[in-house]
Amino acid sequence: MTDYTKFLSATGRQLTESAIRRMGTVVAQTGDVVSFAPGYPDASLFPWTELREIGTGLLDGHDADALQYGPTRGYKPLLESALRVLESRSVRATLEQIIVTSGSQQGIDLIARVLISPGDVVLVELPTVTGAIAAFRNAQAELVGVELQDDGIDLDHLDEAWQRATRAGKVVKLLYLVPNFQNPTGSLLGLAKRARVLEWAERRDVLIVEDDPYGLLYFDDVATEAETRPIAADDRTGRVLYLSTVSKMLAPGFRVGWMKAPQALIERFDTAKQSTDLTSGILDQHIVHEALRQGVADRLAPQLREVYRHKRDVMSQAIRARLGTRLTWSTPKGGFFLWATLPDGCTDTMLLERALQHGVIFVVGSAFHVDGSGHNTIRLSFSAPSPDRIEEGARRLAAAFG
Ligand SMILES: Cc1ncc(COP(=O)(O)O)c(C=O)c1O
C-alpha cells in the first residue's frame, strides 16, 4: 500500500474537514435521523416551476454562451443584475468593483488566498462560521476570536484583541463578520455598532469582510429590513469586502454569489479565481440572471421569511416545552439557526453521541469556536426539516437527555 501522506503539501496535511459536512455523512449512513445539523434551505421552497421554464428556454440552443466558457469576472448581465441587487440594499458599486464567485464560500477562500500570509491575524466572532474558519486556516492565518454580546461583536474586546496582536508584532489584516442573523448564533449586529465597527476598521487600518447571506431573512415580528443595512452601505473609503449569495434566497445548488470590493483587489481576486475554476458555472449564472430579471427572488422573499419564521416558532415552542429546563437560548430574529447553551456538566460531544442513538443530530458548538471553547453550546438549524420533523427532533433530543 502506498503511503500518500508523504505526497501531501504543508497545506494538504493540515486541511480539516468541516464538522457540518461530516454530519451530512452520518445522516446518509444512518437512515431515520432528524437533522438539525446543516444550514440547508427548505427544498420545497425552491422556485421549481419558474426555474424549469428558465432552464428549458436557455437550453433550446439559441444562445451558445449559456454552455460556453465565460469570463472569470462573471457573466456581464448577471454582474449588472448583481449591481441592482446591491443597490436595493443601499450598497453602491460599479462593474469594476464586483466579481461573481462560486457561492460566498469561494469569496472567503479568494480573500484568504489573496490577502493572507502565514501568521497574519484574522479577527472573527466567537463563535463563527466553520467554512470561514477552514478557509482562513488553510491560508495559515492566526484566527483570534472576539466575544459576542446580545447586539453583536463586543467592540472593547475587539480593540483589545487588535492591540494584543499588534503589540506582539503581528499584522491584523481582516475582521470577518456576519452581521445579519449570524451563523451560528443568529445574532444581529446593532445599527449603531455597525457605524462604530466601520469607524474602528478605518482607525486601526483593518479590512472588514462582511458576509451577508441572511440579511433578507428577517422575521418581521421582531426585526425590520432597515436593521439589516449592510455595513458596506456606509463604506465611503473602500474598507469593506461585501459577500452576497443566492444560496439562501434562490437555491444553493447554483453556486452563485458575488463580492463587492475595491477595484484593485477585485483584479487580484480575478487572477486568483482563474487558477481555481476559470469561471463559475456559466449555465448557473445565466439562470440566476434570468431569475433575478424576472423578479423570481423578489417574489419569493416574503414567503421565505414567513416559512422560516414559522419554523423558528415551532422549534422554539417544541424546545421550550420539552427542554426548557435544560437548554437556554435567545429567540433568533431571522436566519436559520437557534443557538443553545447546555446545562452544567453536559458537553456538546457527549450530547451528540446520545442524540445520534436517539435519531437526531445537530452541530457541536465547539466546531464554531477558534479558541477550543464552546463545548457547552450547540447549533440547531430549523431551516430544512418540516414542522412535524422539528417537533419529532425536539422529542428525540429530550430523550437523549434521558
Ligand atoms: C455565513 C455564511 N457564509 C457563507 C456560507 C456559504 O454560502 P454559499 O452557499 O454561498 O457558498 C454560509 C452557508 O451556510 C454561511 O452561513
d(CA 65, CA 55): 14
Q: Does residue 307 share a domain with residue 287?
A: no
CA of 311 to the centre of ligand 1 (A): 20
| C-alpha 17 to ligand 1 mean position (Å) | 16
Which set of grid coordinates corresponds to residue 261? 470590493
**C-alpha dihedral sign at 20, 176, 241, 119:** negative
Whether 319 and 188 share a structural domain: no
Instruction: Give every CB contact of residue 216 below 8 A, 6+ residues apart in sequence.
Output: 225, 228, 249, 301, 304, 305
Task: Name the residue among 371, 372, 368 with its Cα closest to residue 381.
Answer: 368
- Note whether 284 and 308 are same-domain residues: no
Domain edge (last residue) among 227, 262, 296 = 296
Question: What is the domain-level CATH number for residue 325?
Answer: 3.90.1150.10
Q: Are 72 and 207 within one domain?
A: yes
User: Does some domain include residue 116?
Assistant: yes
Cα separations (Å) of 319 from 322, 327, 350, 366, 383?
5, 8, 19, 21, 15
Do 266 and 362 share a domain, yes or no? no
The Cα 27–Cα 385 span in angstroms is 13
Residue 401 Cα to ligand 1 midpoint, Å, equals 31
Here the cell at position 293 is 430579471
Tell me the C-alpha to C-alpha distance, in Å, between residue 90 and each of 25, 169, 232, 236, 305.
Answer: 40, 37, 8, 12, 20
Per-residue pLDDT of the chain (402 residues; tens, 9 = 90+): 899 999 998 888 887 666 666 666 666 566 799 999 999 999 999 999 999 999 999 999 999 999 999 999 999 999 999 999 999 999 999 999 999 999 999 999 999 999 999 999 999 999 999 999 999 999 999 999 999 999 999 999 999 999 999 999 999 999 999 999 999 999 999 999 999 999 999 999 999 999 999 999 999 888 999 999 999 999 999 999 999 999 999 999 999 999 999 999 999 999 999 999 999 999 999 999 999 999 999 999 999 999 999 999 999 999 999 999 999 999 999 999 999 999 999 999 999 999 999 999 999 999 999 999 999 999 999 999 999 999 999 999 999 998
Last residue of a domain, one of 296, 322, 357: 296
Atom 16, ligand 1: residue with shortest CA distance: 183
User: Whole-angstrom Cα distance, residue 232 to residue 90?
Assistant: 8
Which of 135, 125, 143 is closest to 103 using CA atoms?
135
Looking at 254, 270, 296, which one is the last position of a domain?
Answer: 296
First to last CA, the chain: 45
Question: Does the residue 27 lie in any domain?
Answer: yes
- Of all atoms in ligand 1, which is nearest to the CA of residue 106? 11
252 and 274 assigned to the same domain? yes
Residues in the ligand 1 pocket, defined by CB under 6 Å? 39, 103-105, 129, 131, 178, 183, 211, 213, 245, 247, 252, 257
> What SS3 class is residue 175?
strand
Q: Which domain holds residue 321?
A: 4-46+299-401
pLDDT tens-digit series, residues 364-392? 999 999 999 999 999 999 999 999 999 99
Same domain, residue pair 83 and 199: yes
Give strand pairing partners of 380.
338
Same domain, 80 and 135: yes
51 occurs within a structural domain: no
Q: How many domains are there within the chain?
A: 2
Cell of 171: 499584522
